[in-house]
Amino acid sequence: MSDNLDRILAANADYSADFGDKSELAMPPARKLAILTCMDARLDPAKFAGLEEGDAHVIRNAGGRASDDAIRSLVISHKLLGTNEWYVVHHTDCGMETFTDPIMRDLLAGSLETATIDENGWRNEGSGPGSKEADQIAWLTIADLAQSVRDDVDRIKSHPLVNKSIPVRGYIYDCKSGRLEEVN
């Protein structure tokens, strides 16, 4: 059993021991919100946006991008569970700004082990095996942070399965300050 697993199970025991009326929460989000944001470890959407359990759908992936899978989740969120206000939140110092599709494909072709980055860029440390499967994947990297927010808001708003009445707002979360700044 890993140290992480021990800690997770101990924390979960504490959390569930004082679960209170959270057992009565309904499936549809009470505040009818959905937030799409990055998987980045520094971001806690419940904390930075003030969400309690039961309030909002939270969708997260590498970059907080409006991928096909994020759109799948958002459409389910509105169509079946009634959210009607959506937020896209990218953030400063995002890992998705540090590479490009060709860089990722080269790295993964060489090795599946974790790579390292320095002033010369990404470099494989581990040895093989690698895989060319990465060539088939769009990694959804970010070249310009504000533009990536605008692109994703636009992609969501213009998707044929998205109800046009849903407001979709874009924000950048600043990892240095914890503040949300709107992107227009």
Residues placed in the known binding site for Zn(2+)? 38, 40, 91, 94
Residue where the block lists tokens 């080269």: 106
Q: Given the complex with a copy of itself, which of 140 and 151 has the nearer CB atom?
A: 140
Q: Work out whether 146 is an interface residue with a copy of itself (CB under 8 A).
A: no
- Kindly state the smallest distance separating residue 88's Cβ from a copy of itself, in Å: 13
157 binds a copy of itself (CB under 8 A): no
Query: d(Cα 72, Cα 92) in Å, to the nearest integer?
Result: 26
* Identity of the residue, 134 or 150, whose beta carbon is nearer to a copy of itself in the bound complex: 134
In the complex, minimum distance from the CB of residue 166 to a copy of itself, in angstroms, rounded to a whole number: 9
| Residue 90 near a copy of itself by CB under 8 A | no
Q: Select 80 or 146, whichever has its Cβ closest to a copy of itself.
A: 80
Q: What mask of x and - would describe binding to a copy of itself in positions 23 to 52, judged by CB under 8 A?
A: x-x-xxxxxxxx----xxxxxx-xxxxxx-
Residues 6+ apart with CB under 8 A from 52: 46
User: Is 148 one of the binding residues for a copy of itself (CB under 8 A)?
Assistant: no
Longest dimension (CA), the chain: 53
Q: Does 178 bind a copy of itself (CB under 8 A)?
A: yes
Tell me the residue ranges of DSSP E strands in the chain. Answer: 33-38, 56-61, 85-91, 116-118, 121-123, 168-173, 180-183
Considering only CA atoms, which of 60, 17, 51 is closest in space to residue 32? 51
Helix (H, G, I), strand (E, B) or coil at 173: strand
